[in-house]
Structures are given as structure tokens and as C-alpha cells.
Structure 1
Amino acid sequence: MTKKYNFDEIVPREGTNCIKYDGREWIFKTNDVLPLWVADTDFRTPDFITEAIRKRAEHEIFGYTFKPESYFEAVIGWMKRRHNWEIKKEWISFSPGVVAGLTLAIETFSKPGDGVVVQPPVYFPFFDSVKGTKRKMIENPLKLQNGRYTFDFDDLKSKIDKNTKLLLLCNPQNPGGMVWTREELEELASICFENDIMVISDEIHSDLTYHQNHHIPFASLSEQAANNSIVCMAPSKTFNVAGLASSLIIIPSKIKMARYERALSVGHLGMGNIFGSVALEAAYSNGDNWLDQLLDYLWNNYIFLENFIKKHLPKVKVMKPEATYLVWLDFRKFGMNDEELMKFTIEKARVGLNNGGRFGTGGDGWLRLNIGCPQSVLKEGLERLAKAFNN
């Protein structure tokens, strides 16, 4: 009998050193906001993960460990079942987090002064990874067409040169929620291959796709794409285990894998932590049914949000997500700049959201809202927004 999970449950998170709730004073300068911002969910981590952690904790010795064969089998099985991607054990490496792996890859496969392409509006740690490693950031802004972002290939080709070494791809896209099509990805892959530009693909939201939208791992496009890319994934967004700091770096190229593993070993980063490995294996071994139920719940939350905004906030345009539990909202008709918009939502609506300007070019006047919460919490947040903006 299939177990039914309760995503309506309110799980108090205050007092757990939780950034989303306990960090409100630091982030928003007040605790009097309903936080619908940072990309973790308010859902209880599934029982098959917590039980696996408890079982391992019973041993009571937490010394040096390695990843067992079952760990790799779980990863390989998940990629085949969920993404129709057949990978090999020797392609699988580790990073404490996707951003950490992405940054390490920038340092490994380029040098200071080299060009790195980013495609804003996009997950803002990309900017820090490029600037912090003293690389040159090349902006290739996305185009907004028919309520959806698309790549601007003409702009990309006009800006790259012989010093452009890397492109950071957000796949699925954050904050817009696009699941890039095969045609979009193949054209991007072709441009990058022809210009000797390696693709680092952040695919942390890959499990969270809706209905007919199917995630295509960049390295699965072709042998050419596989040899010219690395893929960064993690169970953290899917199963709400970001605090366990365990991510996957998948590199089909033997040469690139050797270079990445060397950089990983220099920093003694490859071992990870015991409970992160246990959680990852449990998630990818047992998580299918739970994830299917989660996706149904999240989609119902999105439909609730869409209908609410149409009725109560008609000046706001909603970008319909093809993936992720993050919804990109266009508030530009209210005529506020980024700073004014954030100040208003915090002080008048008492809701904590992500300000669009942080996501770079094209983000001003937008807000990112997290629907990964019980619908009663989402309803409260939307009612606060409607009351404030309608007054």
C-alpha cells in the first residue's frame, strides 16, 4: 500500500538555527515577516531519510568513511529512472554543495582574467563565483518572450571571444522556472563546442519538473556535450536536506574528471560527511513515491497562487514555472524600483521575498516567491501581499 504523505503539516522551524525563520532579523531587519524566500521547503524531511540517519547514528562512531557501492548504485538508478540518463560510477564525484562544486570547477578549468558567461536574471551566487575567482563576467541576458525566458544566441555569439572559457548554465532555470528544451540546449551546446567553451550546468532543481516538462541533463545531449561539460546535482532541494551538504558532480570526460578530482583532493573536500552520504543514498533509493506526491502538492500550490493573483492582484504577472517551487512575479506595473519594492513588501505586507534585482539584468521590479510550504502558509502570505498592495 502506497504511503500518503502530509504536506499540509505545519512543522515549527524556529529555534533550530534555521536561516529562513531564525535569520529574519539578519535578512529583513525584522522578525515580523512571513518568510517565503530562501530555496528550502517547510516540509518535513521524508521518513526514509531520517530513519536511515537514525540507524547510522546508533553506531556512535563517526570516523573517516568512504562511499559504499550502494551509494553509487542509488545515484545511477535515480538518474536512469527520473532523467532517462545512463551514467557510470566513474563519472560520479562529490562537492559539499552545488555552488562549491561550480566555483571549484571555475578555478580548475579557467584562470584569472578568463571570460565566464552568465545568463541573467539567474541564481545570484553565480556572480560571486565568477567575481570571487577573479574571472571576467560576460553577461548574456535571457530574452523574455511570451511569458517565458529564452536564450539570446545572437547576443551570445557577439560577446564571446578566444578568452571566453566557461558558460554557467542554470538548468532548470532559477528564478524563472524554465525547463530548457532539447532544441535550446543543443544550439547552446553547439555554440559552446565550436568556440571551445566548457559548460558547467547547475541542475539542482532537475527533479522538480511539472507534467509534460522533462529535464534533460546537459551532458546527456551527445558525446560531444558530455565531453565538454560537468553537471552539478544534489538531493538538497528535492528532499529538503540542504543542511547535510552533499552534492554530486558528474563528469563523463576522464581528463576533466582527473583535473576536478585533483582540485578536490588538494582541499581535502572529497570525503563529505557521513550523514550527508547516508541521506543521499536513502533519497535516491526510496524517494520516487514521495517525490511524485510532492510534485502534485507543489503544482496545486502554484494553481492556488495563480488563481489568487488573477483575482486579488491583477497588476502582477506570474511566470508559469515548468520546474522548481520558486515562482517569479512581475510587479513592474506598480512603478517601484527594486529597493522601494522590497521595503514595501517587508514593512507594509510583512512578507519576506527575494528581490529581483539580486538576480541581475532583467530582475528589477520582480520578486521571487517560494511555494514550498503548506498551502495555509502560502495563503496567508498572498493575503498579506494583496491587502498591502490594494491599499
Structure 2
Amino acid sequence: MKEFELVIDRKETRSVKWGNMEAVYGIDDASDILPMWIADMDFKAPQPIIAAMQERLDHGVFGYSYICTKCKDSVRSWLSSRHGWETQNDWMLFHHGVVPAIGTVVETFTKEGDNVLITSPVYPPFFNVPGHQNRNIVDCQLKEENGNYSIDFEAFEKSLQQDVKLFILCNPHNPGGIVWSEDELRNILRLCKQYDVLVLSDEIHADLVLPGSKHIPLAKLAEEEGGQVITCVAPTKTFNLAGVQCAIMITEDEKLRAALQQSAMAHGQMDLSAFAASALVSAYTECGEWLENLLEIISSNMDYVIDTLPKAVSGISIQKPDSTYLLWVDYRDTGLSEEEMMDRLLNKGRLALEPGTKYGEAGRGFLRMNVATPRAIVEEGVDRFIKAMQ
């Protein structure tokens, strides 16, 4: 698996991860800082995807594109074989990303002043996007014990009783890396149905479940439990295609689809680009083996960090997640504040990780670390973390 050992220079490529740290962290010069923060990988996309996009490039004509049956068939086949979820082509609507899709769902099914429920710590757009649309955020913080998270269903039900219109679920969870159990998902569906709350299930990390765990699509259970669910999936996180911009919204409910289609027309939303469509089909029909190899690399990188960093730095603990390529590093026992920790990492270690409060106040005392990068960079990142704490 030598392709995952190749260190690729991503500077001067308009990479947010490698080229925008001055703006993100408010520092004058980040040229020597190692970025292990934002959730994109430092690996090349699978070769079949590159070839498919090259073939489209070589054609040389880039007119308006549409989503063909082959595109939908590839999504349907992937979800069936990978997750045991049987969908239909007409359940699918395409978007330019999961975050824009979240914005569309919030705008379409809620109005200003409505309450939107989240469970923090959670991916920042879950509260930022509704907040920018003047929706009220109801935050039911997850229960945490030794870095392990679960839903407090008593608190969850009380939150739903606050006239909540929409619940945004992270499934699997980012940043905690949790693969929710079937019982937890059924409880979510049962309670949201009871209080007539629409559920948006962000399942962009579904393909990145590590060996030993199994992702369960929420909508698959909704076929039995009932309730209204819109699911967002994408090949972008799985195959490192964030810059290609492609996502799929899936719902069996015809009325929900009609409302989303009306929203798309109201905003003049076009179909995917020619390159995104080519990448989508290739990803879901040719790249399963590449993904299996990737998951081995991610698991191995996680094991290295977990075996090395807590031994070298007193007060650090890390639980291996069920999914994602992101570690949620617990530094609460170091006694350092978030400001002190970030200062040490950035200015002494020259290492960029994400502060936990970016994911809500429930994330205070944690750092998010991206290990989807060649082992040489992972090792350097660990060395820099250790240096920062000396």
C-alpha cells in the first residue's frame, strides 16, 4: 500500500488545510506549522477516480451536465452492498456538499425563530448554519465518560418538548467517532416521531467505519419505526474529494422531496459538475478495495498515536473511535486551559490541531487530530505534540 506512504506537497495548491492557517489561527506566519486539523486527507484520490476525471477532461467540452441513471445506480448499489440499505433512484436529490444540503434542509423545513436540536460536541455547521438563518439552537449535550459518549435520552426528550422542528444527527458522530447502536437509533426515531420532529441524518462518515463496527443508516430503521428522515451521504469524505463538491440527499418521503426540489428551483441550483458526476460513478463502482486499504492505514495510524502520545505526555488520554479518521484527544488532566494548550501547540510545537470548543462548549478539554496522512507525517505530528508539552 505504498500509495498511502507518499508524502505529497500540498502547499501552493489553494489547500485550506495547508495554505490558510494564518487566517484560521490568527497567526502571522504558518509556513512551518504542520496541519493536522481540518477533515481532509493527504492521500491522493483513488486512481480510477483520477482516470475518470482525466477522461472527462480530455473530452474537452464542459457544457451543462445532468445526473444520469448511471450516477443514481452507482449510489444505490453502493448503499446496498456497503450498508444493506435498499434505496430507489427517485429518492435521491443531488447537492454540492453536505453542508449546503444542511442549509437547504434548514431553510426548507423551518422558519426564523424555530428551534433546531443538536447534540454537542458536534460538527460546527450543525449550529453555525441554522444560527446564520436565525434559527434557535437547542443543545442537548452528549453524556461523556472517559472520552466515551452516549445520548442522555431523558434530556433528549425534554429538548424535543421545546417545540423543536428539526433534529440534526451526526451518524457516525464527528468528532467523537461514535457508531450509534441500533437501540439508540430506534430511540431517536421513536421520540422524534412522537414529537413530530424531522430528522436530518448526516452520514458522510458512514463509509469510514473501522473494523469491528457497523454503520446503520437511520432511514433503514425508519422503514420499521416510522418518522420523517432525510439522509445526506457523499463520496467526498470517503475518497478525499471535498474540492470536487458532491453530495446526495435521500428520502423516501415524496412530500419532503417535492419541497426540496422546489427549494432547488427557487435558488437556481444546478446539477453536479461534469467532473463531480464522473468522480461519483467511479468512486462507487471501482474503489471499494482502495477504501478497505485506507481503513487499515487509518486504524494503524490511530494505534500509533494512542500507543505513543499518552505515554509521552502526562495527562493525555485517547479513546480509539469506531469511525472517521479523527482522534478526539482528551487533555483535561494536564491542567492546561484551551488557550494555553493551543498556544503551546502552535507556537512551540508548530502543530495545528482543532480546539474542542469549536464543537461546542461540551468539547472543552479536547483536541481533534486528523491522522489520514502518511505515517511519516503522523509520527512528526506526535513528535511536535510532545515537544510542545516539554
TM-score, length-scaled by structure 1? 0.96
1:186-245: per-residue Cα shift (whole Å, max 9, x none)? Answer: 111111000001110111111000112111111011326565110011111110000011
* Alignment correspondent of 1:230: 230
Map of 1:1-391 to 2, 5 A cutoff? 4=1, 6-28=3-25, 29=27, 30-31=29-30, 32-161=32-161, 163-223=163-223, 227-389=227-389, 391=390
- My pick for the range that moved more, 307-316 or 72-81, is 307-316
d(CA) in 1 for partners of 2:61, 2:69: 21
For structure 2, the residue ranges without an aligned partner over 5 or more in a row are none
1:44-64: per-residue Cα shift (whole Å, max 9, x none)? Answer: 111100100010111211111
d(CA) in 1 for partners of 2:226, 2:100: 21
Q: Give the AA of the match of 2:215.
A: H
Q: Does the 8 Å CA contact 2:190/2:227 hold for their aligned counterparts? A: no
Q: Does the 8 Å CA contact 1:96/1:269 hold for their aligned counterparts? A: no
Q: Give the AA of the match of 1:27.
A: V
d(CA) in 2 for partners of 1:97, 1:225: 28
d(CA) in 2 for partners of 1:5, 1:280: 24
d(CA) in 1 for partners of 2:136, 2:39: 27
d(CA) in 2 for partners of 1:212, 1:146: 20
Q: Indicate the SS of the match to 2:207.
A: coil
For structure 1, the residue ranges without an aligned partner over 5 or more in a row are none
d(CA) in 2 for partners of 1:201, 1:355: 25
Q: Give the AA of the match of 2:351.
A: V
d(CA) in 2 for partners of 1:172, 1:225: 20
Q: Does the 8 Å CA contact 1:96/1:246 hold for their aligned counterparts? A: yes
Q: Indicate the SS of the match to 2:94.
A: strand
d(CA) in 2 for partners of 1:134, 1:225: 31
d(CA) in 2 for partners of 1:86, 1:270: 27
Q: Indicate the SS of the match to 1:112.
A: coil
Q: 1:116 deviation in Å?
A: 0.5
Change (3 A) 1:5 1:384: closer
Q: Does the 8 Å CA contact 1:227/1:253 hold for their aligned counterparts? A: no
d(CA) in 2 for partners of 1:384, 1:93: 44
How many residues matched? 387
Q: Indicate the SS of the match to 1:165.
A: strand
Q: Indicate the SS of the match to 1:16.
A: coil
Q: Indicate the SS of the match to 2:4.
A: coil
User: Identity of counterpart residues, as a percentage?
Assistant: 35
Give RMSD over aligned pairs.
Answer: 1.3
d(CA) in 2 for partners of 1:276, 1:84: 25
Change (3 A) 1:289 1:44: same
Change (3 A) 1:191 1:385: same
Q: Give the AA of the match of 1:286.
A: E
Q: Indicate the SS of the match to 1:104.
A: helix
Q: Does the 8 Å CA contact 1:205/1:238 hold for their aligned counterparts? A: yes
